Amino acid sequence: MKKFKNAQIQIKNYLQLSTSKISLTIDMWTTISSLGILAVTIHFIKDDWQFDHFVLDVLYISSPHTALAIKDSIIKIVSELNIADRLIGITSNNEAKMLAVTRLIKEDLNLSEFCHYHCAAHISNLAVEAALNTSIVPNCVKKLRIFISTVRNSPKQIDKLKEFFQVEKIKFKVPLPDCTTRWNYTFYIIDRALEIKPLLAHLPNEEEWNILTILADLLAPFASVTRVISASSYPTIGEVKLLFKGIRMHLNQSRGENFILQDQVDEMNRVFTNYFDEISETLHVPAFFNSRYKKLAYGDMFQNNIFEPICRVIANYRESNNTHIPSQPIQASQRHLMNLSAIETRNFFRNLIALNQTPQPVLNELELYFTSNSPGDEVVPLE
């Protein structure tokens, strides 16, 4: 307990080093013993323009795990760290209870600038689940899962499978287990089964293999998006918008009238589009300021339609920050010039010149930024 209190003090002191706005990620899960666990992660940009994030707390939530109980736990953390007035958003999965949590937090803290962000990886998983809940797919997938479970739980079967690999003189690859809590894991078990198909003599018939092959091709982009987003230490909304537009194109491509899994594609498209349309407006402005994807993220939209929400946000920002700062007499500043460093001297004259310049119209600034060449993926947007 003492170590925990010391850690909380260090976190509070660390957060005071930055005055930037913050966002939280909340994850709720139930352990094997039915204990409710809540993890709260903070994300923010430090004053030196470096992105930072770390776990604020991992809490036990007593049963029942209601939205109100989760909300109270999060507000307690936020209040103890004195960061309530800096909270601008929360990311969670799309469960109704978590959506209620974010709504209650916004109401309790009376936050005007606050958004709920849907977990991108979870949206991808929901689309995959939609396909697996249709009639034609589950039978062969269920058959594959049972077979793999049987093989993995039998040392005799594993040894026999190893012998097949040795005969073929290839590296042994054990069939992957299914894991319902790991997003897109169904793709990985099918992909591995297809990889070692010649050695799995007791598996489905050719018609079922054909369905599994087509299903793997259908799910591969979803698994890839989940891997990229989950593995990145610097995911951005612009990147999510780009990847989601790619998923949408993947689902909408023509596959012919006789495509055997068209019902699955339609159901995936329905679920994915529902979430995509819901979050698209929230993604519009932040995606614009990721210079790597500023053009790709908007598809065939007209430039005026892209700029309109940006201009509106900038105008509101300038209006809310239009506070008059009284200028100091030039003579008073000049007496200190000799004590300034080289960087401070440059900034002094830069600010002096800027005082007498007419600001560029917002639209001209946006056009210049938008029409300039996009940098490569190696560029960090904040830098």
Cis check: omega of the bond before 64, within 30 degrees of 0 = yes
Q: Are 72 and 26 in contact (CB under 8 A)?
A: no
What is the reported pLDDT for 326? 45
Concatenating the DSSP letter of every residue in 79-130 gives: HHTT-GGGEEEEEE-S-HHHHHHHHHHHHHHT-SS-EEEE-HHHHHHHHHHH
The residue that leads in pLDDT, 177 or 121, is 121
Residues 39-86: tens digit of each pLDDT: 999 988 887 888 888 888 898 888 888 899 999 999 999 988 888 888
**Confidence check: pLDDT of 357 > 60:** no
Concatenating the DSSP letter of every residue in 311-378 gives: HHHHHHHHHHT----PPPPHHHHHTTGGGS-HHHHHHHHHHHHHTTSPPPPHHHHHHHHHHSPP--TT
Q: Of all residues in the chain, what percent carry a pLDDT higher than 90?
A: 10
Residues 164-185: tens digit of each pLDDT: 777 777 777 777 777 766 777 8
Q: Are 286 and 237 in contact (CB under 8 A)?
A: yes
Q: How would residue 332 be classed by pLDDT, with cut points 50, 70 and 90?
A: very low
What is the reported pLDDT for 7? 59
- Report how many helices (DSSP H) and strands (DSSP E) the chain contains, helices first: 14, 5
Q: Are 120 and 238 in contact (CB under 8 A)?
A: no
Gyration radius of the chain over CA positions: 27
**Confidence check: pLDDT of 215 > 70:** yes
**Confidence check: pLDDT of 329 > 50:** no
The residue that leads in pLDDT, 122 or 359, is 122
**Confidence check: pLDDT of 331 > 50:** no
Q: Of all residues in the chain, what percent carry a pLDDT higher than 70?
A: 80
Which of 5-19, 193-207, 299-313 has the highest mean predicted lDDT (pLDDT)? 299-313
Chain centroid, CA 135 distance in Å:
31
Assigned CATH topology for domain 2-118: Nucleotidyltransferase; domain 5 (3.30.420)
pTM: 0.73
Q: Would you kindly state where each structural domain of the chain is located, as residue ranges?
A: 2-118, 124-288, 325-371
Q: How would residue 270 be classed by pLDDT, with cut points 50, 70 and 90?
A: very high
Tokens matching residue 36: 């409710």
Lowest mean pLDDT among 152-156, 200-204, 221-225, 308-312: 200-204
What is the reported pLDDT for 353? 64
What is the reported pLDDT for 280? 78
- Rounded Cα distance between 44 and 96, Å, is 26
For residue 293, the SS3 value is: coil
- Rounded Cα distance between 74 and 102, Å, is 10
* Over residues 257-270, mean pLDDT: 90
Beta carbons within 8 Å of 166's beta carbon, 6+ residues apart: 172
* Mean pLDDT for the chain overall: 80
